[in-house]
Structure 1
Amino acid sequence: MDTVTALLKRSKELLADFNIDDHPLTKFTTGDDDHVGDDYFLTSGDKIRFFLEQDALDQDGKLTRPKEKAVNKIGHALHELDPLFWKVTLENQRIKQLVRDLRFHRDPVALQSMVITKQQQIGGEVPEHNDSTFLYTDPPSALGFWIPLEKCTAENGALSFLPGSHLTTPITKRFVRLPTGGTGFEQLPVPSNNHTPLSTGEYVLECCEPGDLVLIHGSVLHKSEKNLSPKTRFAYTFHMIESPPHATYDEKNWLQPTKAMPFSRVLA
């Protein structure tokens, strides 16, 4: 719990310290037709940046609340640039041993990390999705590590999962950089040996305590509802993928490593 308390404290320090005056007011949007994709987002893979809630701005583009309560998430290189998040993600021996025990990857790399704040009253709904659509490799290999920093309940937007969907729902599209700029989705062929996609069923709500660890298979369908409660729902999450030659991560993906900051090997 000391680590969770420290992560929550550090998250709030980052929110308090960031400068809204030179911020482009980029909102985090998730729709198929209006997913965030400006330069501030596309160049965030080696930086710590702040993405606003959709409801945090009025029609004139002015904040409707203090900046600390207007942010949807902080990303995407917390695990590389902040010493505390680095230690939890890449120097954590329990995480390393879990990765070895899972045998999900042979040589995984960490490619993004986020603090998702799920602000009170306006914390945005996240529709049904799977992570391999957004962190695509061939073959798919994304795995999410999701750590609640506050209690997650039905009222403040706890995650819900569709059981078994990682076994029956193929990755049918991928989130890419468009040649014309911005982002969009590219359709993928569905393997002929795949089962019929399972996109219906009863979702299971997973309430969590601070410090729990939720592992999210890259193909499992999950979502969260809007937070209309008076309590925030801070969570720290990072993702791993398989590295070459075991899987291919190409230049179409929205998030790209740089020479100065390649994706860090988890088991190094």
Structure 2
Amino acid sequence: MKRKKILAEVQPGIGGEVVPHQDNSFLYTEPTTCTGLWLALEDATIINGCIWAIPGSQKNGLVRRMVRGEGGVSFDRPSPTYNQNDFVPIEVKAGSLVVIHGDLIHQSFENQSSKSRHAYSLHVVDTDGCKWAPDNW
């Protein structure tokens, strides 16, 4: 029992802010095929930094890409400004898998609570019938 208490005390505040983005921006294929898999190892709530998303935003296509060039890595256009009121929280219990369309605009806020929020994040792309962009970062 003491071990559980120590783990809970050691891990508060884990999880930094992730600014609004689309996964296809970073893992670009033609056609776009990136899918994010986010497995909550602990409950993810508004208090400890769950994912927030703009419902239906995946229907509007890719906003911008991160590309690799001679000068390094940069975005091909400026970051859009999003209305924070358009985002909704995706609170899930430990063991839940959140599947994220590559064009879905999503973010998370820094975990400033005394409770941890560990998760595994994995991104997959189709390996058949699509082309991996040579200028991906």
TM-score, reference length from structure 2: 0.81
The match for 1:212 is 96
Q: Which has the higher helix share?
A: 1
The match for 2:49 is 157
CA-to-aligned-CA distance 1:133-180 (integer Å, 9 cap, x gap): 011111211101110001111111000111110112x21321122313
Residue aligned with 2:74, SS: strand
The match for 1:123 is 15
The match for 1:240 is 124
Conserved? CA contact 2:14–2:117, under 8 Å? no
Conserved? CA contact 2:65–2:75, under 8 Å? yes
In 1, the alpha carbon distance for the partners of 2:14 and 2:127 equals: 37
Q: Which has the higher strand share?
A: 2
Identity of aligned residues (%): 38
CA-to-aligned-CA distance 1:23-78 (integer Å, 9 cap, x gap): xxxxxxxxxxxxxxxxxxxxxxxxxxxxxxxxxxxxxxxxxxxxxx7xxxxxxxxx
In 1, the alpha carbon distance for the partners of 2:63 and 2:89 equals: 25
Structure with max Cα Rg: 1
Matched, 1:202 2:86: yes
135-144 or 200-209, larger mean C-alpha shift: 200-209
In 1, the alpha carbon distance for the partners of 2:63 and 2:57 equals: 13
Letter in 2 for 1:154: I
- Where does structure 2 lack aligned partners over 5 or more consecutive residues? 1-6
1:122 shift after superposition = 6.1
The match for 2:136 is 253
- Higher RCO, 1 or 2 (CA under 8 Å, sep at least 6)? 2
What are the residue-to-residue correspondences of 1:1-268 with 2, within 5 Å? 120-121=12-13, 123-168=15-60, 170-181=61-72, 183-187=73-77, 199-200=82-83, 202-244=86-128, 246-254=129-137
In 2, the alpha carbon distance for the partners of 1:143 and 1:123 equals: 21
Residue aligned with 2:67, SS: strand
Conserved? CA contact 2:35–2:99, under 8 Å? yes
In 1, the alpha carbon distance for the partners of 2:90 and 2:121 equals: 16
In 2, the alpha carbon distance for the partners of 1:240 and 1:157 equals: 23
In 2, the alpha carbon distance for the partners of 1:179 and 1:120 equals: 40
In 2, the alpha carbon distance for the partners of 1:179 and 1:145 equals: 32
TM-score, reference length from structure 1: 0.43
CA-to-aligned-CA distance 1:83-132 (integer Å, 9 cap, x gap): xxxxxxxxxxxxxxxxxxxxxxxxxxxxxxxxxxxx63363211111110
In 1, the alpha carbon distance for the partners of 2:125 and 2:39 equals: 18
CA-to-aligned-CA distance 1:223-261 (integer Å, 9 cap, x gap): 1111101122110111111224x211122111xxxxxxx
Residue aligned with 1:173, SS: coil
In 2, the alpha carbon distance for the partners of 1:250 and 1:222 equals: 22
Moved over 3 A (4+): none
